[in-house]
């Protein structure tokens, strides 16, 4: 499974979601101008990245379910 390049693409997509989520949480915790200006954009970006990650996970699971 780990020799498949699609595994690494899916893993990177999940890590991108975590990074965007951490930036959003950090901005929310700090507050101020950054949060007012970018909170909604970061939330939309997180939702988009989550959608892409879920699609990649489903594609990976569907096409590579029987391989080792």
Full residue range of the structural domain in which residue 59 is found: 5-66
Instruction: Tell me how far apart the alpha carbons of residues 13 and 6 are, in angstroms, rounded to a whole number.
Output: 11
**Quick one: pLDDT at residue 66?**
74
The answer to whether residues 35 and 46 touch, using CB atoms and an 8 Å cutoff, is: no
- What tens-digit pLDDT sequence spans the chain (68 residues)? 678 888 999 999 999 999 999 999 999 999 889 899 999 999 999 999 999 999 999 999 998 887 66
Q: Residue 7: what are its φ and ψ, rounded to 5°? A: -60, -45
**Quick one: pLDDT at residue 1?**
66
How many structural domains does the chain have?
1
The answer to whether residues 51 and 40 touch, using CB atoms and an 8 Å cutoff, is: no
Enter the tokens of residue 36: 């007012």
Alpha-carbon Rg for the chain, nearest whole angstrom, is 15
């Amino acid at each position: 499974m780990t020799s498949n390049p699609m595994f690494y693409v899916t893993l990177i997509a999940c890590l991108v979601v975590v990074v965007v989520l951490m930036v959003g949480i950090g901005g929310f915790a700090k507050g101020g101008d950054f949060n007012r200006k970018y909170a909604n954009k970061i939330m939309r970006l997180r939702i988009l990245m989550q959608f892409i990650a879920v699609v990649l996970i489903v594609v990976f699971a569907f096409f590579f379910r029987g391989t080792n």
